[in-house]
Structure formats: structure tokens, C-alpha cells
Structure 1
């Protein structure tokens, strides 16, 4: 007896839901939650996108697990990533560098403050960070065919183009690798493995 189309779809979904991307096959609940609920999901809110960009630049040279487990501390230290408040945080840099709950890197901290100022400027010009970024993909996520997470490049020509644009308008610490990781995290790119339930 053959399965109906509906039964085949149900069977396929039930089996897909048993699989996460290989990098999320871990006992770490925060990593699982991030993979299941956020990574690759489109985000359009400027404040949320600013937070992800900030976390991704902090991620540079470090493991994502390290950054993710400090996210709550980052949110407290950076006023929940309200870019209006962060843009005024230069007097707080010394305190941030003494905050053991975050990654105390002077260059990265300064970059977050600088980027907040640029996002404010975009708004003053009648635009937004979200509009700027999503225009690069025509407001539609790029869905890649990924069989193994190890096959995902660290960056792409598009990420390099975006990086150059961001730097030209004043963004800091936004090299092609950081930009591509950010594109993945905010859903501009979906790099979930093909057999992952979150694809």
C-alpha cells in the first residue's frame, strides 16, 4: 500500500525533525536553542540586528559558545543593545573593560559604540540598518544547499561587497568573515544543513 502525498510529507517532516545541523549536535542547551530558534531566521528589527552584529564581532577569534554564554551579560552591559544609548557609552568604556562578565577587548568595545553611532546616523538620513542590509539580498533570504556544515565558506563575495560598503559609511570591525556570520545569524542567509529540521 503506497503512502498518500500528505502521509509522505508527514513522514518526511517527522524524520527531518530528528536532525539538527552537525554543529548543533551538542548537550549545550543554549547552543541548541540558538540553532533551533534563531540562527537562519530572518530578523528585520534594527535593535535586534545591532545586537547580533555586536555579538558576531565579539565572536571574532573566539568560539560562538563563549559569546553565547555571555549574551545576558552583554545585554546588561550594553543597555539591551539600544543603539541610541550605546552611541553615548564612551564614558563607560573603562567600566566595560573591568567587567569580567563580558569579553574585555578595547577594540571590539569601541567598534560596538562606533556602529551604534552609524546606525543612528542612518536613521537621521531616513534609512535604517535593516533596510541597508536587506537591500543587498532584495529582501529575500539566500537559501543555500548545504549537505555538511564543514562545507560552508567563512565568507562570500557578497559578504565582501557588504563589508566594503559598511566600512565606507563608518562601521567598524565588519570584515567579510564577521559580515557573513552576521548574515547567517540574522537570516539573510540560511545555511542550515539540508537534512536539518530548521532548514
Structure 2
């Protein structure tokens, strides 16, 4: 089965587990969407394996991804977290996480949930690209550009079109499992 999976995940057991159990599965609950958006914005400019290996550290540092608690974090929390080796110690990314929690909560309040806001971008449907190979999978799309632009307008940081596309893939709005990948059928 290993050689049938999407080739991007074959480099480590963490990648394989993430690919097989999470990546591309539609997510509709706000708690998981917040976790994914935090991790995707932390990944900007880094490899995804770095973030996967620091995921438990992020859970501990950011109150198990509770957006209310994260939104209430202070400058003292930022000072503490830039010393925390369990996460990416990039001050602007840490500040963006706190900022993004506030924007996330504002969107959830305005639309009833962040999920309702987010999934409206795809008319509440999964976009199935039916890629035959990894080379056919885009890094960004017009939809990810639209999502990024709207999130930025609403105050989000560290979420450009490429990061938004990775978020869309991770949360299953986009199915980019290659056609012969067993996970695509599940």
C-alpha cells in the first residue's frame, strides 16, 4: 500500500499517519478548523514535517487550540512562548496566532460558526481535483486566493493563498489525493 499512497507522504511515519488518518477528510467543527489554521500559518516557510513534530507542543502552548483562551493571551505569553522549544519560536507567528484567534472568533460570531463561513467558499461541497499524479496538484487556486484575501480583510495574518490552499487540502475542502491512493476511497 505504501507505494500507492500520495507520494508526498512517504518520507516519514508521521507523514504517513497524518495522510492516512487526517489529510483530506472534511472537517466541519470549529475546534479542529482552528487547530488546522494555527498549524498551517505556523508552517509558512517551513516543512510540514517540522510542524507535525511540534504539534503536541502547539497543543500545550496554545491551550489545546481553544480560540477563546488563545485570543486572551498577552504580551507576557508571547515573551514566554518565544522561549518554548516545543513550538516554532517566531515572534510574529506567535503574535499572529493570537491575532488570528480573535479574527476566527469574530467570523464565528458573524456567521454562526467559522465552519459555515469557511465552507461557503466551496458552496459547502468538496472540490475533487481527481489528480492522476502529484504534479497535477496545484499550490494555490483562484479559490484559495479569494479565501486568503477575505481572511486578510478580516484581520488574519500569515495566511496567504498557498497557505490557504494547504488549509483547504488539510481540512478536506479539496480532495487532492491522487486517483490511485487508497485514502481517497475512505
Bucket of the pairwise TM-score, normalised by the shorter protein = over 0.9
Report the counterpart of residue 137 of structure 2 in structure 1.
152
- Segments of 5+ residues of structure 2 without an aligned counterpart are none
How far is the alpha carbon of 1:18 from its aligned partner? 6.4
Report the counterpart of residue 33 of structure 1 in structure 2.
17
2:67 aligned to which of 69, 83, 87: 83
Measured in 1, the distance between the counterparts of 2:6 and 2:97 equals 29
Report the counterpart of residue 119 of structure 2 in structure 1.
134
- SS for the counterpart of 2:85 is coil
> Could you tell me the TM-score, scaled by structure 2's length?
0.93
Native 8 Å contact 1:74 1:102 kept in 2: yes
Task: Show CA shifts across 1:31-71 (max 9, x none).
Answer: 11100010000001111111111111111111111110100
Measured in 2, the distance between the counterparts of 1:150 and 1:67 equals 23
Report the counterpart of residue 12 of structure 1 in structure 2.
none
Report which stretch shifted further, 16-25 or 182-191. 16-25
Measured in 2, the distance between the counterparts of 1:166 and 1:138 equals 17
Report the counterpart of residue 42 of structure 2 in structure 1.
58
How far is the alpha carbon of 1:184 from its aligned partner? 0.3
Report the counterpart of residue 81 of structure 2 in structure 1.
96
- SS for the counterpart of 1:159 is helix
Write the mapping of 1:17-32 to structure 2, written as runs, cut at 5 A.
19-26=4-11, 28-32=12-16
- SS for the counterpart of 2:4 is coil
Task: Show CA shifts across 1:16-40 (max 9, x none).
Answer: 78621111223x2211110001000
- Segments of 5+ residues of structure 1 without an aligned counterpart are 1-15
Report the counterpart of residue 171 of structure 2 in structure 1.
186
Cα RMSD after superposing both structures? 1.4
- SS for the counterpart of 2:15 is helix
Measured in 2, the distance between the counterparts of 1:52 and 1:174 equals 12
> Could you tell me the TM-score, scaled by structure 1's length?
0.87
- SS for the counterpart of 2:152 is helix
Native 8 Å contact 1:119 1:128 kept in 2: no
How far is the alpha carbon of 1:75 from its aligned partner? 0.4
